[in-house]
Amino acid sequence: MGGLSIWHWVIVLVIVVLVFGTKRLKNVGKDVGEAVKGFKQGMSDDDKGPPAKLGDESRRDDQARDERSSASQRNDDDAAR
């Protein structure tokens, strides 16, 4: 009574195929495979290259963030007037 035999799994598989259809199950399997492949590729990309250096890109990001905060502060001041 505690375990599931092979016949139980066969019945469950038949019910799943009847409910979802083979085409949808095929698409789900393909999507899961692509997700796993992308995850593995992302993990290997992290290991390959040296860590990113803080350089021109981070300075540009900081300048853009400062400009946005200045602009929003000016808009808030204009709205208060």
- How many domains in the chain? 1
Residue 4: predicted pLDDT: 82
Residue 68: predicted pLDDT: 73
Q: Is residue 33 part of a domain?
A: yes
Would the pTM count as exceeding 0.75?
Answer: no
Domain range for 65 is 6-48+55-80
Q: Is residue 1 part of a domain?
A: no
Question: Is the CB of residue 25 less than 8 Å from the CB of residue 17?
Answer: yes
Spatial distance between the Cα atoms of 81 and 71, rounded to a whole number of angstroms: 16
Residue 18: predicted pLDDT: 93
Q: Is residue 40 part of a domain?
A: yes
Residue 20 predicted with pLDDT over 70: yes
Q: What is the pLDDT of residues 33-78, one digit of tens each?
A: 999 999 999 888 766 665 555 555 556 666 777 777 776 666 666 6
